[in-house]
Chains A and B, each alone.
Chain A
Amino acid sequence: MGDMGNRHLVLAYAATIAIHLVYLGYVAMKWRAAKSAAN
């Protein structure tokens, strides 16, 4: 498992953070759109 296991560990942590950040970007877009529509 060794090196391959370490690579998968890094990928799993990176993927988790990346997916959350992508969704945060989508939420920020929705936030701005709703705010400008309300004004």
Chain B
Amino acid sequence: MKLWRWLWLLVTLGVLAEGFRVALFVVPPDSAQGNVQRIFYYHIPSWAGMGLFFAINLGCSLVYLAVRNRNEALAIKADSLAVASAEMGVVFCFIGLVTGSLWGRAVWGIWWTWDARLTSTLVLWLIYVAYLLLRRFAAGPQMRTLAAVMAIFGYLDVPLVYMSTRWWRTQHPAPVFGGAPGSGIDPSMMPAVWWNLAGWLMWGIFVASLRYVSEYRAQKTEQAEALKSLEFAPGQTQMAGGRS
């Protein structure tokens, strides 16, 4: 691993440790919910991470579809980053669902309810799990194209998830940030939001970059082996320029 990655990891762990300290020991407890509201400081970064990495996946899928027949090197890079970002997004989405469920149990008395926000988020998670399963089990040259198209359709659920608490009445609370006038949290709680948002996004970028490198290496190796097997296939005759 390169030096800058180690430095990035070191800074990330420092930010995460500070975020943990500020969230649990510095900012005041919520006046209505008490300490359990502190789940918010890990819940929000999960959704921010999910939004960021699914957006990267969408961008990379569009780039892949645009260049796959013209620029193979760029297509491999875009496709590798699409895989890495989809996996990272699925991880963040899963954490958001788990922390939300634990919070819901403590505050609402239920683990789950089929309201618009929770249901559309579960569907989003399932769409991207299906995307990863397609990539894992389908074979052949069309798999990457199919996956890219699926990613574009899958992303259509993201704005639906975001707007669900604005369009429908839900058990899930109204938006805290960017919601109606008067929404938001007390300024004394904001340091916990910022530290954890920064820390978990930096962590996501670190892990996704490692995953990108390994996927890129794997795809390059696969491509080299495919070319080699075409060049040295036993018993094959030369097709172009030969006299066989």
Closest to A6 in B: B35
The stretch among B54-62, B94-102, B233-241 that forms the contact with chain A is B94-102
Number of A residues near B (Cβ < 8 Å) is 25
Bound: A21/B163 CA distance, A: 31
Q: Which chain A positions have C-beta within 8 A of B91? A: 19-20, 23
Q: Is the CB of A5 within 8 A of B214?
A: no
Q: Are B34 and A31 in contact (CB under 8 A)?
A: no
A4–B33 Cα gap in the complex (Å)? Answer: 12
Residues in A with CB closer than 8 Å to B221 are: 34, 37-38
CB distance from A34 to the nearest CB of B (A): 4
B47 at the interface (CB under 8 A from A): no
If over half of B's interface residues share one DSSP class (helix, strand or loop), that class is named, otherwise mixed; here it is helix
Specify which of B20, B24, B36, B38 lies most central, judged by the most chain A CB atoms within 10 Å of its CB.
Answer: B36
Of the listed residues B24, B94, B102, the one surrounded by the most CB atoms of chain A closer than 10 A to its CB is B102
**Interface contact A8-B210, CB-CB below 8 Å:** no
Contact pick for B215, options A8, A24, A30, A38, CB 8 Å: A30
Task: Give A residues with C-beta under 8 Å from B.
Answer: 1-2, 4-6, 8-9, 11-13, 15-16, 19-20, 23-24, 27-28, 30-31, 33-35, 37-38
A-B pairs with beta carbons under 8 Å apart, 18 shown: A1-B33, A5-B33, A5-B34, A8-B39, A8-B105, A8-B106, A9-B39, A12-B42, A12-B98, A15-B95, A15-B98, A19-B98, A23-B87, A23-B91, A34-B213, A34-B218, A37-B221, A38-B221
Which residues of B are interface residues toward A (Cβ below 8 A)? 20, 24, 33-36, 38-39, 42-43, 46, 87-88, 91, 94-95, 98-99, 102-103, 105-107, 203, 207, 210-211, 213-215, 217-218, 220-221
Closest 5 CB pairs of A and B: A5-B36, A34-B217, A8-B106, A34-B214, A30-B214
